[in-house]
Structure 1
Amino acid sequence: MSSQTTLALDDSTPPAPGSDAAALTVLRVRELEFATLAALLARFGLVLHRVPDGVPIPGSFWGDPEAGVIAHNVYVRGDTPLHSMLHEACHLIVLTPEARALVHTDATDSDIEEDATCYLQVVLADALPGVGRARLMADMDAWGYSFRMGSTQAWMTHDADDARAWLAQRGLPH
């Protein structure tokens, strides 16, 4: 087999979830209108801040290029994955105003809040033109999110009843 044939076969194989190659396929904040992203977060009382390229992101739990959170503020750079911006914003959205005011970098309080955050970030993707649930779930899988059911889609469909109920009890989109 020639090297060209091998390359063609290799190119058709999707990158492994969580790999560096897969991470390169996810949508980044710079690929969407910043004003649209800021308006979505503003609906929930959050302020989106653009951090200049090359500058560390304040409040980032995982480090650059992941989004950061401090109180009602979400910080991103152009290279921040969209799923990261939505995820960190949703951590703040699911909190009470009193709890939100205390957040700096780490917003997780419990497993159910984490599940609700993951669920809500997928729901909110539908509010972004050209994104939607399917794309966001594919990005989450590519980045390496891990669910008992395997893929994000399988989790949303078969194992997220508790997250939906938790969001519904708080009057949040589900």
Structure 2
Amino acid sequence: MAESPLPVLTLADIGFEPARALLEAFGFELIEVADGEAIPGSYWGESEAGLIGTRVHARADTPVHSLLHETCHLLTMPAERRPQVHTDATDSVPEEDATCYLQILLADRLAGVGRDRLMADMDAWGYSFRLGSTRAWFEQDAEDARRFLAERGLPSG
């Protein structure tokens, strides 16, 4: 995780209800964690979202990109794996790439977020891509991710 002068959007900025509605549309549950409490299932710790089964755990200070990333892990993994997932969603590079791509698309479904802001937040947090930025990867180098998503019937464009 990189330190950045640009504050990334958090759930406090957009509210839990829009995020909860987005997750529920996919059959997942958003679990609100109290301020200062450890986030169950968080891979990165601190304020990053956690994943246990089909539940995404988050606090008010959880970055929106983190919430979307964990949600998209659930969407990209086979349904039969979802109940068993805990903290570490995958070690598959194609699945990770598809997760990153899909989180950018889903950002457009959250008012006040959108793909442009999400890509800036991903860069600020420290996501790294071969072409040097999230936008360059998304626009010029994500064919494998789009194919992965399309093959599974998920949004890919």
Give TM-score scaled by structure 1 length: 0.87
Shift of residue 20 of structure 1?
Answer: 4.3
> SS where residue 21 of structure 1 aligns?
coil
Gaps of 5+ in 2: none
Asked if the contact 2:39/2:46 (under 8 Å) is kept, the reply is: yes
Q: C-alpha root-mean-square deviation of aligned residues, in Å?
A: 1.2
Shift of residue 130 of structure 1?
Answer: 1.3
Residue from 56, 62, 79 that aligns with 1:97: 79
Q: Deviations over 1:88-122 (max 9, x none)?
A: 11111111221111100000140000000000000
C-alpha distance in structure 2 between counterparts of 1:111 and 1:93, whole Å? 15
Q: Which has the larger radius of gyration?
A: 1
Residue from 15, 35, 53 that aligns with 2:35: 53
Give TM-score scaled by structure 2 length: 0.96
Q: Deviations over 1:40-89 (max 9, x none)?
A: 11111110010000100000011010000001000000000000000011
The answer to whether residue 102 in structure 2 is matched with residue 120 in structure 1 is: yes
**Following TM superposition, where does structure 1 have runs of at least 4 consecutive aligned residues deviating by more than 6 angstroms?**
none
Asked if the contact 2:101/2:142 (under 8 Å) is kept, the reply is: yes
The answer to whether residue 51 in structure 2 is matched with residue 62 in structure 1 is: no
State the aligned residue count: 156
Matched residue, 1:80: 62
Shift of residue 141 of structure 1?
Answer: 0.3
Q: Which residue identity is paired with 2:77?
A: L
